[in-house]
Amino acid sequence: MTAKRGAGGRPASFSRDDAIERAMQLFWRDGYLGVTARDLADAMQIQRSSFYNSFAGKAAVFDEAVQRYLDIAPDRRLDEIGTGEAVLPVLVATLRELCRARAADPQARGCLVCNCVAELVGVDAGLGAALELVIEHRLQVMRRLFAQAAAQGEFAPRVATDDIARAFVSFLMGLNLVSKVIRAEAELWSICRTFLLGIGVAEADLDRG
């Protein structure tokens, strides 16, 4: 049974947050299809019976794991840029951090979302759609941010900011994916550099990340 509210009882001995965290780490490394319910329960350090008691199954845990991933992903900071705030410094710092994190990961796992978009969109209707939403959200946020940055005179776009936003999301997914093959932080950063210069960011703004 799932938890019911009522009189007291034995409390869960595991932290649900910790369990989801461990599940997320596993999905991150092995993808969705590469993980079984057994693997999950093992990684979450709970019995398989507890697993089925407390969670609806692999797909449900995956949903929660993705949410958890979004909380710790380097690009979460882009969602927190407010209106009126400077965009470029945060953008540059975020990309720097992303390169650092991807290169520092000894397992070269790349990005959980990107990996699973490749794996699940068009394969699993439900999970694929959920992941598409994450990408759509990133697109929406970037449209707002690039419009804002241009309006604030932070850079001189050579094409429509909506086009830049789309190119940025594509660039970001490519960077995450290629980071599984290109392992040197400096080379990953050079990709960011090339992209940023290309969309009109000034050289001077790149080093102050």
Partner DNA sequence: ATAATTCTGTACACTTGTGTCCAATATTTA
Partner DNA sequence: TAAATATTGGACACAAGTGTACAGAATTAT
Which residues are near DNA by CB under 7 A?
1, 3-14, 36-39, 46-50, 52-54, 57-58
Instruction: Say if CB 147 and CB 154 are below 8 A apart.
Output: no
Q: Which is nearer to DNA, 53 or 190 (CB)?
A: 53
Query: For binding to a copy of itself (CB under 8 A), which residues are involved?
Result: 29-31, 33-34, 107-110, 114-119, 121-123, 132, 135-136, 158-159, 163-164, 166-167, 169-175, 177-178, 180-182, 187, 190-191, 193-195, 197-199
What DSSP string describes 143-205? HHHHHHHHHTTSS--SS-HHHHHHHHHHHHHHHHHHTTT---HHHHHHHHHHHHHHTT--HHH
Local structure of 97: helix, strand or coil = helix
Burial of 142 (C-beta count, 10 Å sphere; 0-12/13-18/19+): buried
3 binds, among DNA, a copy of itself, none (CB under 5 to 8 A by kind): DNA
Q: Which is nearer to DNA, 50 or 180 (CB)?
A: 50
- Give the number of residues written for the chain: 209
- Report the nearest approach of DNA to the CB of residue 151 (Å): 49
137 binds, among DNA, a copy of itself, none (CB under 5 to 8 A by kind): none
Burial of 120 (C-beta count, 10 Å sphere; 0-12/13-18/19+): buried
Q: Can you tell me which residue has the tokens 């507890």? A: 50
118 binds, among DNA, a copy of itself, none (CB under 5 to 8 A by kind): a copy of itself
CA atoms within 13 A on the CB side of 160: 4
The span from the CA of 115 to the CA of 32, in Å, is 9
49 binds, among DNA, a copy of itself, none (CB under 5 to 8 A by kind): DNA
208 binds, among DNA, a copy of itself, none (CB under 5 to 8 A by kind): none
Q: Which is nearer to a copy of itself, 23 or 116 (CB)?
A: 116
Q: Which is nearer to DNA, 122 or 198 (CB)?
A: 122
